[in-house]
Each structure stands twice: as C-alpha cells, then as structure tokens.
C-alpha cells in the first residue's frame, strides 16, 4: 500500500529496506515542538490571507494543540511507515479533524518545513548552550576570585616556564568561553531568517505573507531566495563549527585536570562525585568525568566534518542526502551540553593543593625570565645579553643542583660582576607573579580586578536572561 500522504503517483508501498533507509522519525521526532509551532504560525497566516477559511483554521489549530498535548504527555504513537515527524503530525491531525487537515500543507513543502523546524531547533539549542557556557564562566570566575594570588607553574611545551596564579589560569578559560558564546551569538543572528514559504524550491503562487510568519516565529525576516532557503545547511555547519571550538576548549581544560589529578602533578583533587575507582586496583581514583569530556570532543568535531562531507557535492536544491544532517547534529550538541554540565560540576568540585602548586612553580628555574628582566632593568643590559647571562647562571645552578635563589652573590658575580644583592628580590615565585602587572598579566591585583569584572558582567547577564 502506498503512503497515504504522497501516494497518488505510487501504486505500491516501499520495500522493507527502502522503508528502513528512508524513515527519519527515529531521530527527527525531536522536531515535534518546532514543527507544531511552525504549523500554527502557517495556518494563522493562511487564514489571515484568505487562503483557508477561519473555520478550517480554527479546526486545524485546535487539532494541532491536541497533538502537541499528546506528544508532551507521551501518548502519541510515532509510525515509521509515515517516515518523518511532519507526516506523523499531519496524519494524526487527519485522524482528529478529517480531510480538512490536508489544507494545512497549502503553500508549503516538507522542504521548507524541515528547514524551518531545524532552524527553530538549532536556535532553541543555541540559547540553552549559551546559558550553560555562562554558568561555566561563573564557576571559573569564582575560582579565579578565590585564588587570585595562589601561585602555580605556567607551562610552555608542558615544561615549567614562568610562575602564574591559579586564578589567572581559570580566567584564561573564561575568555575562551566568552569567544565561544560570541561565535554562537553570531551564528544565531545569521540563521534568524524564516524559510517558511519557500515551498519545495520555487516559492508558491498563493498570496502568502512570509513577513507575518517570520514575525510570529521570532525571526528577523524571511529568507530572500527560495532555492537557498531549502537547500543550504550552513546555519547548522556554523553552529557545529562553534560547538567544535568550544568542545576543543573544554577538552584542553579536561586534559589539564587529568594531568593535575595525577600523583606526579598533584595540583588538584576531585571528589567521589566526579571520579571512579578500579575493579582491580583499590588505590585508584580516576578522573573519568574529565576524560569523557576530552573524549566527547571527537564526537562534536566529527559531526562537523560529517556534515561538511554530506553537503560538499550536492547541487541545488534539496536532496535526500540532507536527511543525514540531523543525527550527528543532535548527538554533537547533546554531547556538548553534557560536557558543559560536567565541566561546571568539576570546576566547582575540585580542590587545589596550594602548597604543591607553589613548590612546583619554583622548580625548573621558572624565575629565570625575572632574572633576565632585572639585568635589563637595573644594569641597562640589552635583553639578548641578559638572556645569555641568565642562561649561564641557570647552567651554573643546574650543575650545583640548586635553584637560582640558592646561588650565592659571589657565584652570580662570577658570571656577571655587576650583579648586586638586590637581584634576590626578584627570584621568589610570589615576587615574580606580583611583578607581572601589565594589562592581562598574572599579577594577583590584575586577576582580582578581572575576576570582579567578569562576575559583575555575568551576574547582569544572568538577571537579564
């Protein structure tokens, strides 16, 4: 038996394998809320334009509201034979109000319908992700405020470079997330055009009011080209690209937490809430939440690459290949949401070992740059010469297996005779971080100021949400 929604051209039903590969209801049921929102706006416009009668519009609206209630209550039965969420809803509407349900599809196609549903779903999801990113920023900024002066090693090449503060490190991720939110906000602005009314690909001969449906659904304007409206998924790609960058940021932080939790680093500890044990080694406390955040970044990035590959060879306009745009996107954005929640929990949960971090900050001759700067500042030495002198002093200290601050003045003067006792004022890690007062630097006063600024800004955004 042919599909009753489009069966006039077909005498028989699809092969079982065709039904299996063709059906999308197993995943596009997620569009149910958006599909009904779009249909309600569409039928209201049809009635206002005189394309359907007020009575028919009222019956359709009432029926759609009943279908929405059934879906929300979990009593709605989804049918694979009806392929997708659009046909499932329309079929149930026909059960409720009869053949007049078919008037709802006047002046639209499943092509512009799915483009609309996807934009609405992406837009809703972007708003939710933005709030989760904001919550993570708040957690990070709070830790930054608490630990503005807590010294830890800063790394390049994963080697001790210069002392920084734990608060400064936390604020680095606040800045990254700010840009992540900005990218999502930009993508939201560009996607906020309504494709409904583009129909299959060429528009419609009915006197529809696309501005009305766009306004009713919260869009800035209708899309300007019917071909582009139904055939592009750049709004999905852009959000997946932004999501991939955010997932990469989360993965980097997760990797640091994994490292910091090892006995070799010992910088932080996570509680039982975000760790697991071993089935064979009783002593183990594994930072599995962080590892999973790190791992799930691959799913998000993979979804972006997958959709790019799907779209790269498609001629205008719609092709069924585009059905592959949804599952990866659903999985990717759900994964990102879970990762944001897990990371927010971990940041609030972790306890830094301040003594361990401070000790580590002084290892690896991390104050060598402070010594070189002192030579430039106090002895008016060219920096390249100061770099060479400092390198020689590091070599001397390394040979003696002591820190720079443990060298005697005489030993330092054996390398550079102009060095005075005052050089020891810059060789402590706390003195080092306090000296980094340039804008954006790690000085505790800077970190406190930036943490306060962010907490104030984020609180205002939270109240305004």
Q: Residue 270 has which token pair? A: 């996570």
- 124-127 contacts, C-beta under 8 A, 24 or more apart: 124/34, 125/239, 125/333, 126/184, 126/187, 126/188, 126/239, 127/188
Q: List, in order, residues 6 or more apart from 147 with CB less than 8 Å away.
A: 165, 166, 167, 170, 352, 354
SS3 category, 162: strand
Question: How far is Cα of residue 205 from the mean position of the Cα atoms in its chain?
Answer: 41
Q: Residue 255 has which token pair? A: 């990797």
Q: Are residues 35 and 113 in contact, defined by beta-carbon separation less than 8 angstroms? A: yes
Active-site residue, 147 included: no
Q: Are residues 167 and 451 in contact, defined by beta-carbon separation less than 8 angstroms? A: yes
Whether the bond between 317 and the residue before it is cis, its omega within 30 degrees of 0, is yes
Torsion of CA 260, 265, 267, 273, to 10 degrees: 50
DSSP collapsed to 3 states, 50-73: CCCCHHHHHHHHHHHHHHHHHHHH
Question: 193-194 and 221-222: which strand pairing?
Answer: parallel
Q: Please count the CA atoms within 13 angstroms of the CA of 315 that sit on its side-chain side.
A: 0
Q: Which residues pair with 152 in a beta bridge?
A: 164
Per-residue b or e along 103-132, where b marks 16 or more CB atoms closer than 10 Å to that residue's CB: bbeebbbbbbbbbbbbbbbbbebbeebbeb
Q: What are phi and psi of 267, to 5 degrees?
A: -80, -35
Which candidate in 157, 205, 279, 417 is catalytic? 157
Active-site residue, 229 included: no
Which candidate in 278, 319, 363, 398 is catalytic? 278
The residue among 49, 247, 236, 241 whose CA lies nearest residue 133 is 247
Q: Residue 54 has which token pair? A: 């007020």
**Catalytically annotated residues:** 157, 278
């Amino acid at each position: 038996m042919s599909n009753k929604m489009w069966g006039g051209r077909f005498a028989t039903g699809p092969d079982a394998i065709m039904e299996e590969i063709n059906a999308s209801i197993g995943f596009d049921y997620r569009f149910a809320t958006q599909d009904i929102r779009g249909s309600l706006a569409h039928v209201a416009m049809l009635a206002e334009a005189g394309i359907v009668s007020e009575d028919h519009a009222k019956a359709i609206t009432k029926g759609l509201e009943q279908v929405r209630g059934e879906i929300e209550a979990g009593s709605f039965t989804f049918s694979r034979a009806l392929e997708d969420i659009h046909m499932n809803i329309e079929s149930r509407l026909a059960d409720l109000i009869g053949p007049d349900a078919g008037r709802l599809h006047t002046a639209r196609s499943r092509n512009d319908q799915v483009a609309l549903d996807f934009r609405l779903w992406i837009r809703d999801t972007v708003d939710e992700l933005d709030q989760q990113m904001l919550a993570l920023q708040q957690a990070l900024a709070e830790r930054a405020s608490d630990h503005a002066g807590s010294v830890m090693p800063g790394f390049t090449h994963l080697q001790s470079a210069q002392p920084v503060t734990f608060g400064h490190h936390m604020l680095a991720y606040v800045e990254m997330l700010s840009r992540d939110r900005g990218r999502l906000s930009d993508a939201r602005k560009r996607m906020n055009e309504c494709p409904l009314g583009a129909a299959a690909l060429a528009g419609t001969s009915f006197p529809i009011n696309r501005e009305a449906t766009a306004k009713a659904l919260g869009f800035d304007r209708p899309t300007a080209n019917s071909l582009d409206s139904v055939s592009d998924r750049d709004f999905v790609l852009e959000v997946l690209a932004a999501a991939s960058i955010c997932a990469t940021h989360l993965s980097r932080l997760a990797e640091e937490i994994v490292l910091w939790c090892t006995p070799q680093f010992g910088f932080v500890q996570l509680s039982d809430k975000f760790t697991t044990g071993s089935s064979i080694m009783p002593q183990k406390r594994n930072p599995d939440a962080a590892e999973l955040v790190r791992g799930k970044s691959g799913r998000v990035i993979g979804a972006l690459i997958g959709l790019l590959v799907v779209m790269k060879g498609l001629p205008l306009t719609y092709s069924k290949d585009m059905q592959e745009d949804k599952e990866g996107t659903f999985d990717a954005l759900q994964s990102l949401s879970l990762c944001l929640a897990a990371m927010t929990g971990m940041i609030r949960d972790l306890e830094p070992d301040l003594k361990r971090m401070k000790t580590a900050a002084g290892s690896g001759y991390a104050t060598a740059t402070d010594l070189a700067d002192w030579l430039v500042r106090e002895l008016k030495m060219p920096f390249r010469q100061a770099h060479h002198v400092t390198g020689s002093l590091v070599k001397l200290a390394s040979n003696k297996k002591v820190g720079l601050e443990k060298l005697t003045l005489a030993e330092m003067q054996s390398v550079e005779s102009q060095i005075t006792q005052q050089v020891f004022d810059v060789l402590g890690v706390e003195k080092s971080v306090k000296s980094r007062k340039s804008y954006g630097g790690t000085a505790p006063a800077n970190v406190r100021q930036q943490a306060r600024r962010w907490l104030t800004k984020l609180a205002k955004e939270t109240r305004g949400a």
